[in-house]
Chain A
Amino acid sequence: MITGMQIATTMPSPSKGGGPVDPVFRQIRDLVYKVCGIFQLEEKLYLMADACGRRMKQLGVHSPREYWDLLTVHSSRDAEIRQLLNEVTIGETCLFRSPPQLDALRKVILPELVEDKSKQIVKRLRIWSAGCSTGEESYTLAMNMLEESDRLLKGWTVEILATDLNDRSVETAKAGIYGDYALRSTTDYFKRKYFSPIDEKKLQVRPEVKKLITFSRLNLQDDSRMLFMKGMDLIFCCNVLIYFDGPSKAKVIDHYYTNLNLGGYFFLGTSESLFKLNDKFHLIHFPGTIAYWKPSLKSGKL
C-alpha cells in the first residue's frame, strides 16, 4: 500500500492508460474546441489533462473544477485559454508532421492541379505556408515538391512563400538547422538527399531546397498586406488560427479564400475545424485528412 501512496501525485492529471479522466477535462476539451476550433480526441484526452495539470501547477490551482472556473468565469479567461493552448500544442512541430496531408498533396491534389493548369502558358505553382514558425512545414513542402520535379512537376516552377509574425522564428526558419527532435519523422532517404550535417547532432537544409522558399515576416491581421498575397494554389495554416478570436479568424479565412486561385486548397492543422467560419469553402475528405477547397469553374459549384 505504501508503494501506492508514493505513486500518487498531487496533480490530478491521469497518464495514458491510467485511471478514468476527470469529466471536467472533457468539458475543457469541448470549450477549447468551441473557442479555438482545435479538437482533442478521447484517446488523447490525457494530453489535455497533462496540459491543464501544468497550468494548474503554475497558477497554484488545486482542483480541475477550480481551473475550469478560471477558464470560464474569471475575467482573465481569454488569456488563460491561450496559455492552455500553448501547453496543448507544445513541442508538436516537426518535419513530416502529417503524412496523410502529404499523401493527399502528392497523390490527389497535385495531379488535379497540374491537369487543371496544364493549358496555362506559365506553369507555376504557388504555395503559402502561413504561420510557418521555424520553417519545418515549409521545408517539408519544398522537399516533397522537389521529389515530383522529374515527374508530375516536370517543367513547372514552384514558389513557396513562408510567413510568420515572429521575426526570430523567421530567422531560425531561414537558417534551416534542425536537431533530432524536429527530424524525428524524417526518413533517412530525405535526410541524405536534402540535408548536410553541420555537427554531430544537427542537420542543415541544402541550398537547392531553400531556393524554393521565400521567408518573410507577415501579420495575418494586416489587411492591406493580406490583399497582396494573391494567386495561391495551396495555403497551409496549421495550428495558427487557434490563437485568434472568432471574428479575426473569420477575417483571415476570408482573405485566404480571396488569395486562393479557383480550384485551390487550404489546409488547417489535423485537429482543427472551420465550422461556421466560412461557407464558401467546400470541405474535402482525402484518406486520413481533410482540406478546404475553393471550387473551380468547371466544377459548376461556385
Chain B
Amino acid sequence: MTTSIAATIRERVARIETMPSIPAIFIPLLELLNLPVERVKLDEVVKLVSYDNTIAAQCLRVASSPLFGLAKSPESIKGAVISLGLRKVETILLTCCLSNAFPAKSWALDPTLFWRHSLGCAMVCRKFSDKLGGGDGDKAYMAGLLHDIGLLVSCIAFPKELTAAFALANQEQTPIEEAERTTMGFTHCETGRALAEKWHLANDMLQVIAHHHAPEQSEGAQPLVALVHLSDLLCRMRGMGYGYYERRRVDWVADPAWAILQKEHRNLDGIDLVRFTFEMDEAIEEVFGLVSTIFGGTAARN
C-alpha cells in the first residue's frame, strides 16, 4: 500500500462524523474478558452494563432466546450470569456492543451475513483453540469476532467503493479481499487497522484485524492471526461466508498459516480436520439463531 492511500484511509477514518465511536463499556469489557474467569467480579460486570440500557436489554433478549434453553427468562444481567455463566454473558455483551457501534443503514453488505460470519468465525476460533489446547479460547473468540471489523469501517468511510468491490466479488465469484484490491487498491485490513489504532486496541487484536489474510506478515501474535485466518477460510467454505459462491479451493495444510501454527502447537497434525468441519457445521444453526435473535431478519446461506 502506498503512503498516500494510507493517509487517505487515516484521514477518512478520523474525519467522518458517523464514524463509530467506541461504546463506553467496550474496552473495560474487553479487559474483563482478558482476565481469568475466577478474578472477574460479577458486580463489576453488572455495574458496567448498567451504564448502557440498550445493551443490557439486548443482552437479556439474547439470553432469553430458545438458543440458550433456559426454563425461565433472566430478568437481570446478574440473573443471566448466574444461569448462563459469566463468559457466555460477556461474549453476548461484546457482540451487542459492537452491533450498536455500527448501526446498520445502507450497508454495502447484508448486516445479517456480516454478523453470521463474524460470530461464526468467533465460535470456530474458540473451538479450534480448545482443540489445540494451551491457548486462550476467549481471546480467540474475541479475535474471530473482530477480525473483519474493517469491512464495517469501509461501509461507512468508503461506501461506494466497497459496494463496487462486493459487486465485482459477486460477479466473478472471487474472494472479497481480492475484489477490494482490484477496485479500491486497499482492503478492509487497512481500514480495520486504522480503527484499531483509533480505538487503541491491544496489539494482538490489531495484528488479527490487519493481517488475517496474510498471517505471515503480522508483527507479533502470529499464531493467533494464523488461527483466525484458517477459521475464516473454514467459515467461508462451510456456509458462513458473504452470501455468494467463492470459486476457490482451500488447502489448509499447504497454507503458510498452518506452518505458523505447527511451530506453536505440536498436536496440530493430530487433529481430525474433517470431523472438526462436521462439528462446526453443527454450530451453524446456533450462530444463525443468535444472529436472528440480536438483529432479526433472514439472509441467504453461503
B-binding residues in A (CB < 8 A)? 33, 39, 41-43, 103-104, 107-109, 112, 271-276, 282-288, 290, 293, 299, 301
Contact = CB atoms under 8 A, between A and B. Distances in A.
Contacts of B238: 285, 288
Given A107-B245, A108-B249, A293-B251, A285 B275 contact: no
Nearest to B239: A288
A35 B234 CA distance: 26
Contacts of A272: 274
Contact of B254 (A271, A282, A287): A282
Nearest to B238: A288
B302 interface: yes
Contacts, number: 71
B251 A108 contact: no
A285 B278 contact: no
Contacts of A112: 249
Given A273-B272, A283-B253, A287-B241, A108 B278 contact: no
A293 B236 CA distance: 20
Contact of A283 (B246, B274, B285): B274
B278 A282 contact: no
Interface of B: 173, 233-234, 236-239, 241, 245-254, 272-275, 277-278, 281-282, 285, 302
A72 B238 CA distance: 34
B241 A285 contact: no
A301 B251 CA distance: 11
25 contacts: A41-B278, A41-B281, A41-B282, A42-B282, A43-B282, A43-B285, A108-B248, A108-B249, A109-B249, A273-B272, A273-B275, A273-B278, A275-B273, A282-B254, A283-B251, A283-B253, A283-B273, A284-B250, A285-B233, A285-B277, A286-B237, A286-B248, A287-B241, A287-B246, A293-B251
A288 B237 contact: yes
A39 B275 contact: yes
Contacts of A273: 272, 274-275, 278
A250 B171 CA distance: 42
Contacts of A299: 254
A103 B245 contact: yes
A283 B252 contact: yes
Contacts of B252: 283, 285
B275 A286 contact: no
Contact of A275 (B236, B237, B272, B302): B272
B282 A285 contact: no
Contact of A282 (B173, B233, B253): B253
A42 B241 CA distance: 22
B278 A39 contact: yes
A271 B173 CA distance: 26
Contacts of B277: 285, 290
Nearest to A268: B274
Given A107-B247, A283-B273, 12 more contacts: A103-B245, A107-B245, A108-B247, A274-B274, A284-B249, A284-B251, A285-B233, A285-B251, A285-B252, A286-B249, A287-B302, A301-B254
Nearest to A104: B249
B241 to A, nearest CB: 7
Given A39-B278, A43-B282, A273-B272, A285 B254 contact: no
